[in-house]
Amino acid sequence: MNFTPIVRDILSKYESDNPGTKANLARILMQGRLGGTGKMIILPVDQGFEHGPARSFSVNPSAYDPHYHYQLAIDAGLSAYAAPLGPLEAGAGTFAGQIPTILKVNSSNSWATSIDQAVTGGVDDALRLGCSAIGFTIYPGSEDQYEMMEEIREMSLEAKSVGLAVVMWSYPRGGKLDKAGETALDVCAYAAHMAALLGAHIIKVKPPTDVLWQPEAKAAYEKANVDKSTLAARIKHVMQATFNGRRIVVFSGGEAKDLEGLFTEIRGLRDGGANGSIIGRNTFQRPREQALDMLDKIIGIYQGKM
């Protein structure tokens, strides 16, 4: 597994990390069909926690089985598979060493009365399950945002000391934020920036709209003539906002749309310089063959072939 210059370059930007963490980042960057390109596609399956099993899996009942997702991620040539504790415990033995895994260490659910998540896994779990990273969601803007940041601070420190990587899902939500604000360009860039400030290795945010939500930010954007006319331009700004490209940033799919809409969006992500995508529901909520076909096309887009 000789590294490509692009992977070598990305790893060189994690200059404070020990070789163990770099090795785990490298595993993700070298895995699957995008291995070596600096791009990645991660399959996250935490919808069951967030929306319950039936809303997540009844449309494609094979997906009730934790092994289904491991196998799908492997067969599709993806870069990593992310899930909470239980599903990893249910498959980590069978699939040990076949694909890098990310233990999602906090989780919310549909019945929550606060905008927060429970810590449901830890660094010790990640080590015993052979994971390459822990994953943590923060809700910048929520009433509980500082507690969440303090939780991930402690877990990050521990993870980094034992050679694991840290993935942060940064989802602005709650508090003063309204629905339009959650995906506004200034808010998305700010959320990505905060994850970088908190020491994340890989940052996951939503693709931003062209809304500018905070009045003071709007003024700054307009003064600086930040281009927000296309998705690619907005993604480029988000990459800039995360240490000018020194951190890996991946994007979730935006609003529900048809496949052509999704592919168009992926092209925008690619053209803006995103490191890749995290694609959950769009993957496991369609039949396996269709999912493999869709992922094949997305990989093609990131490879620049489509």
Applying CB under 8 A, the span of 142-150, 266-274, 275-283, 293-301 interacting with its own copies comes to 142-150
Compute the distance between CA of residue 301 and CA of residue 39 in angstroms, rounded to an integer: 11
Compute the distance between CA of residue 116 and CA of residue 49 in angstroms, rounded to an integer: 13
The reply to whether 204 belongs to the active site is: yes
HSE-up (13 A, CA, CB side) for residue 123: 17
Burial (CB count <10 Å: 0-12, 13-18, 19+), residue 39: buried
Which of these is catalytic: 81, 171, 190, 302? 171
* Subset of 176-195 contacting its own copies (CB under 8 A): 176-177, 186, 189-190, 193-194
The verdict on 87 binding its own copies (CB under 8 A) reads yes
The verdict on 241 binding its own copies (CB under 8 A) reads yes
* Subset of 62-81 contacting its own copies (CB under 8 A): 64-66, 74-75
Burial (CB count <10 Å: 0-12, 13-18, 19+), residue 234: buried
The verdict on 270 binding its own copies (CB under 8 A) reads no
The verdict on 86 binding its own copies (CB under 8 A) reads yes
The verdict on 163 binding its own copies (CB under 8 A) reads yes
User: Considering beta carbons, is residue 105 or 266 the nearer one to its own copies?
Assistant: 105
Of 81, 116, 231, 295, the one binding its own copies (CB under 8 A) is 116
Of 92, 155, 248, 274, the one binding its own copies (CB under 8 A) is 92
HSE-up (13 A, CA, CB side) for residue 3: 16
Task: Determine if residue 304 is left, alpha or beta; phi over 0 gives left, psi from -120 to 50 gives alpha, anything else beta.
Answer: left
The reply to whether 228 belongs to the active site is: no
Compute the distance between CA of residue 142 and CA of residue 96 in angstroms, rounded to an integer: 37
The verdict on 117 binding its own copies (CB under 8 A) reads yes
Of 44, 135, 140, 253, the one binding its own copies (CB under 8 A) is 140
281 DSSP assignment: H
Catalytic (active-site) positions: 171, 204
